[in-house]
Structure 1
């Protein structure tokens, strides 16, 4: 890593996440180094159904069954990557755009698993012809995150350029959904369970991006190369628990739906059913294998605006070696 970049990233991380990390991590238990080695703090940025395998692995005791104490902490997408490279967290659930942007800044990181290998979104608007979106406000969370990359891909599928619309950063997926329902923006990508309320507000899907099968990693698991070198066994056990959680999600609809309702704070059975069917049946892979193609989509979109992205060797970032093959 370039020394100047490293100092900037680490300083940003310390300023942004020290308080959160200290509250989340606490004491490792009287200085027990073995307990500390088996403790993993993992950050995630959005409360979305993509994260369901992590919730299952945690609450069904799968991490504990593999001898791990895994602490899931919520950090914004702008804070999650700095926290990872500074060591405040050991792993991160992040999207491909954050991954390639961070790697382009000089961070020595690896992408270990992909929970969402396609864009799990539909584009909603109140237009008959997609060309009517010209000049309209289209909501995004930020100008670098996964939803942003997906929005650019959706616009291109419709024959539009990003400059044809007014991209409006709103900070979070929840804010985007709420703005769409309220009508303060004209269009946005969304997915279940929010789509139930969005359609009730009169919006209709004009593009199903998931069906385009554009390779990406909307949500995946990352760690630093240093952490992998010193904690390879722990990472393998983490991945084993994660793969067991994926199997549980796909085979135990009642339990998975219960966790979805609790974490997403949704009580509408129809919305939960749509969410479960969409993610367990269409989006989540049996084996969450990361690929170069999944990161390349973000490189293609960010290459002209983010320095260093075009020159990345993605084969050195993707590492599927900690996953067990499909049984």
Structure 2
């Protein structure tokens, strides 16, 4: 977080970093019509537009979002025509005169939080059971600030007791729980193991449950379709990337890449951190992947929201999820 410089204009302070806002003078001018009680808000962040300082001008509205974690809800103010809040997200308040939209999410309605980073392309997604997520894009230089935000949201989203699906996951995963990644968890991408250890350092209650490394996939097809698929995969192979499943008593966390299944030969350096409160899911289903016989797709759902988690067939992760599904 870059500390605001008193006496400097919004334009002078502008950069790719995400700043914490602690007083009204530091609120971007676009959002100053919105009433903010700093004695109530736990955390207020302003997220800049994805432009360089040389392309900015003092007349521009320079911040795409103002994010507020309050007493009982998350509030996101978004610059109209800003690229980060997706078009499918419906604002709860829309005032054309002021140039920004307002989305409010009660903490009790949050069912998943995902923070991903692909090079400098950061993406925070907060999902609810209504199925319409809030998505905020950010510059990867601000990843540490967003991790703080994820931690705050995790704390407030995990107040509900575990659902039957959450209890089944806890029952299946608890026998595997260890404070460090061990061989019985399965092969693991060392980068994801490091991500888990960093998270464990911030939350010592977090335990590793299961892990798997990346693997190249072969499609299952017959006849002419098989020939076409083999040619396509020879040119651009499909890889199921590694993941590490972890949890404490409040939530399951999955460390992985920005996408589970990726075509091509390029090296992948992305990261993804998915948090699912145990009080959220209302279903867990496992099905074989329609094209790749070595992949089982576990689908966790809560209302209209769902997350598909493809895992290797026969892996510790698959056994964990299948065991949980059998207990529901």
Q: TM-score, normalised by structure 1?
A: 0.29
| Structure with the higher fraction of residues in helix conformation | 1
| Structure with the higher fraction of residues in strand conformation | 2
Question: Higher relative contact order by CA 8 Å / sep ≥ 6: 1 or 2?
Answer: 1
Q: TM-score, normalised by structure 2?
A: 0.29
